[in-house]
Amino acid sequence: MLYGVIAILLLAVISSLIFSLILHFTDTQEKSIRLLVTIISFFSVFAGGFICGGKGKQKGWLIGGSTGLLYSIIILMYQYLGHSSFFSMEQLIYHICYILTAMMGGVLGVNILSGHAHSS
């Protein structure tokens, strides 16, 4: 799970840096790239679940979901300890969707990266 969470955090840091540079050096407004930020966030969580699933080689839904949950707990701890606030209802829905997305990534990671051919 550590590889997946590190991958998620690295992708988040890199994309945050890119978006902050775009916002600083152009006339682009934050609201105009909000959808793109959301898409990249989901991609990052999916990639983290995918990496964990591939490394785990079995139970991708569990490994991916655990990775998504661990990521959400880290974000919650940062928000609570750093800003003294819990998740809003909107954030809670996003994080539930992040966990589900990481689960899907984990399942695909097991099936694609582990090299197992399953027959029906």
**N- to C-terminal Cα distance for the chain?**
29
pLDDT in tens, 56-97: 888 889 999 999 999 999 999 988 888 788 888 999 999 999
> Does residue 119 have a pLDDT over 90?
no
pLDDT in tens, 8-48: 999 999 999 999 999 899 998 888 888 998 999 999 999 99
Query: What pLDDT band is residue 116 in, cutting at 50, 70 and 90?
Result: low
Query: What pLDDT band is residue 2 in, cutting at 50, 70 and 90?
Result: confident
> CA–CA separation, 2 vs 60, rounded Å?
14
Residue 1 is predicted with a pLDDT of 82
Mean pLDDT score of the chain: 88
> CA–CA separation, 29 vs 85, rounded Å?
26
> CA–CA separation, 19 vs 81, rounded Å?
25
